[in-house]
Structure 1
Amino acid sequence: MASASHSHRDPDGLYTFSSRPRPVESSSRYKEPPSELRQHNYGNIMYDRRVVRGNTYAQHIPLTTAQPNLAEIQRQQVNKRRATAQKRAWKQLRLRTPEALQGRKHIDVQTELYLEELSDDIVATHNECQTDAFLDKPATPLFIPAKSGKDVATQIEEGELFDFDREVQPVLEVLVGKTVEQALLEVMEEEELSCLRAQQRAFEELRNNELAEVQRLQEQERRHSEEKERRVAQQKEVLKKERETAEKIAARVYAQQYMADLLPAVFTSLRRHGYFYDPVEKDVEMNFLPWLMDEVNNSLEKRYTAREMLDTIIHDVMEKKLEEFEELETQSARD
């Protein structure tokens, strides 16, 4: 599309410019190579990138924009890994010094032809020197500037410059006025201080009176509080005693009512269990009857023993008689 533009100058001298609208140019889809890498027809050989500058034996650095060769990169990596493996294998195959025995350690020794004594101590020597003593600096003389100019004298008669009586009057007026003013200020200050002291004394008296009244009221309140606490304590004590008395009376009445039915039952149970008994009967049961039973048992045991002994004697006699009869029968049968 063709575009037309024109410019003209107004009669007033103003310059104007106008042009027809035009569409935006379409850009390429792919990025074009930089202008530096484009093929140009250089006029100067010093600006040609194909010309190597410096030493021709130096390593040529390729352009960063050149595409790397993948095969070359892989070959370099393989060579690097092979060299690393060979170096590791050589280190493993190299003879090493055996480990030191227990309680010993390896030390470094010299293997040169001529041995040299090794020591960490550095040989040092001490040298001394004496310098000449410095002389004292002389005192600096006082600076007296050189006199310049000429001395001139004049004569002044009495009363020529000023009249003392007339000139001193304003000074005296000022001194007297200031002195009187200072005296008045001091008198006023003393009067003010005396008034302040009087007010302070009146205030202290009033404060002391108020403090005394406060202390009196506090003491009165304390006495009232103590009296109140004492009365309350007395009333509590009276109520406590009344409550204890009522509890005792109730307990006594309950005990009397309970004991009225309990005493007959207790006496009956005690009498039934033998706690209330006749002394003679108790003596007969506890002392006489056991003694009597013991004596009867002893007499019966003696009788049983005598009978057993008699039976034993009779049995022995009968056995002897039987043996004698058997012997007689045996002899008679032999005869």
Structure 2
Amino acid sequence: VPYSFCSQPRSLPPRPKYRQQSDAAETEKGPRRYGNIMIDPRVVRGNALSIRLLPESTWLSAPEVKKQKKLQKKLLARKLTQEQIRPGTPEPVEGREHVHVQTELYLEEISDRIIEVDGECQTDEFLDRPPTPLFIPAKTGKDVATQIEEGELFDFDIEVKPILEVLIGKTVEQALLEVMEEEELAQLWSHQRAFAELRNAEFAELQRLEEQDRRIREEKERRRLEHLEKLRKQKETAEKVAARAFAQRYLADLIPSVFNNLHASGFFYDPVERDIETEFLPWLMSEVEETLQKKVLARMMLDSLIRTVVEKRLDEFSHPPPSAQTEAAAEEPTATDVAPQVSGEADAADQPAAEEEETD
């Protein structure tokens, strides 16, 4: 069973006439009294983290739990089917609403309906609390008065004399102190000026000595650098003289050998010989090559003519002897008779060419 709590009925607290100064918008609430829940049997006792064991009489076995769940599902399904099967009342037209009426055969008066009456009540608005008046304590004791005549308590001529003496004495004393202070300040200023002059003179002398020392140090450093530069130049000159002497002694035999090697390598040449090698010989070789090509071409042409003549004669010798008419025709000069003559001339032309090649 879930926990629930309900307080006992109580009467409303009296309403104050004025609002509170701290929060005028809220009304004061009276004390509330609640019931004692320590005796309520529904409240669990003991540690809240511990397991609460139910009595054995309330325990259910697993089959019974399953059976109860199935029954609940069946009841819920049956209820849903009944609601779906039963036709419902259509929705009311806009601006109207349904009202429950009696549809039995005999009408009965409904007497258990409670008569309702609307009532209204207007309460007064909260009034602001008036400002608290100032606290004025009540008088205590009795008022007493007395009368003092002129000259009874104070005589100005007599009473003012010691006051004037004190004021004048203090004024004179203060004036003397100020004069002494001024004289002391003047002496201090004179001593300060003298000290400042002495200090400035000493400072000027110190600056002069420092400047003199600086010039001496700079002169010393300059002369030291000049001496070092002089020694460096002397050493460099000696090294150059030694290097020059060594180079002359080393190059005495080197120059002739270098020139000989350059001459042998071809760096020193005869211009006529070089011109012949670079200009004349290439031209001569090209001309000779061209002449040889012409000779080779002439020989090839001659060989082709000789081959043609030989083939024709071979054809003539391979045929049977001709008749009388053919003999008469054969007596006439033909191209085959001219061919040996041409070949003979070509052989005669080849002989001088061969002689020229041998001379070349």
Normalising to structure 1: TM-score of the pair?
A: 0.50
The answer to which structure, 1 or 2, has the higher relative contact order (CA under 8 A, 6+ apart) is: 2
